[in-house]
């Protein structure tokens, strides 16, 4: 089973409050409180905007979220845990797609103005 640690490698990119919160989520995971860990990691993800500089930390967080929800499912058999993990996964890619669309749109606009 995956143990959340992906975001730790880049935790210096997190703001102090989120860095502390990540530690709380990791402790919850280590204590078998997987749903709580997933929710904590998700809260952090909501604070970290999609951008090229945050891409690594967001990718790490989504892996931690999914691992926590998978472990919650394995412990409970509650299919809602898998759905919540997939929602986080798809949300991550939607944010990336939307960011890239805005970036591409601005780039096209600036070229037309030249």
For residue 105, the tally of other CB atoms under 10 A from its CB is 10
Q: Which residue has the higher pLDDT, 114 or 102?
A: 102
CB 67, CB 74: distance < 8 Å:
no
pLDDT bin (cut points 50, 70, 90) of residue 30 is: very high
- Mean pLDDT, range 91-110, rounded to an integer: 79
Give the gyration radius of the chain's Cα atoms: 16
Taking 70 as the threshold, does the pLDDT of residue 109 lie above it?
no
pTM for the full predicted model: 0.79
CA distance linking residue 103 with residue 108, whole number of Å:
9
Taking 90 as the threshold, does the pLDDT of residue 24 lie above it?
yes
Segments making up each domain of the chain, as ranges: 7-112
Taking 80 as the threshold, does the pLDDT of residue 81 lie above it?
yes
Residue partners of 16: CB distance under 8 A and separation at least 6: none
Burial of 39: CB neighbours in 10 Å, binned 0-12, 13-18, 19+ = middle
- Mean pLDDT, range 25-53, rounded to an integer: 94
Query: What are 47-73's pLDDT values in tens digits?
Result: 998 888 888 899 999 999 999 999 999
| Structure confidence at residue 114 (pLDDT) | 54
CB 4, CB 41: distance < 8 Å:
yes
């Amino acid at each position: 089973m995956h143990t959340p640690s992906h975001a730790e490698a880049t935790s210096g990119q997190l703001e102090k409050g989120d860095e502390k919160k990540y530690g709380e989520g990791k402790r919850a995971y280590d204590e078998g409180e997987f749903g709580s860990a997933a929710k904590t990691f998700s809260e952090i993800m909501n604070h970290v905007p999609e951008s090229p500089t945050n891409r690594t930390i967001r990718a790490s967080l989504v892996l931690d979220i999914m691992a926590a929800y998978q472990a919650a499912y394995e412990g409970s058999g509650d299919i809602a845990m898998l759905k919540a993990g997939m929602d986080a996964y798809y949300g991550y890619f939607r944010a990336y797609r939307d960011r890239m669309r805005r970036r591409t749109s601005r780039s096209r606009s600036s070229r037309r103005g030249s």
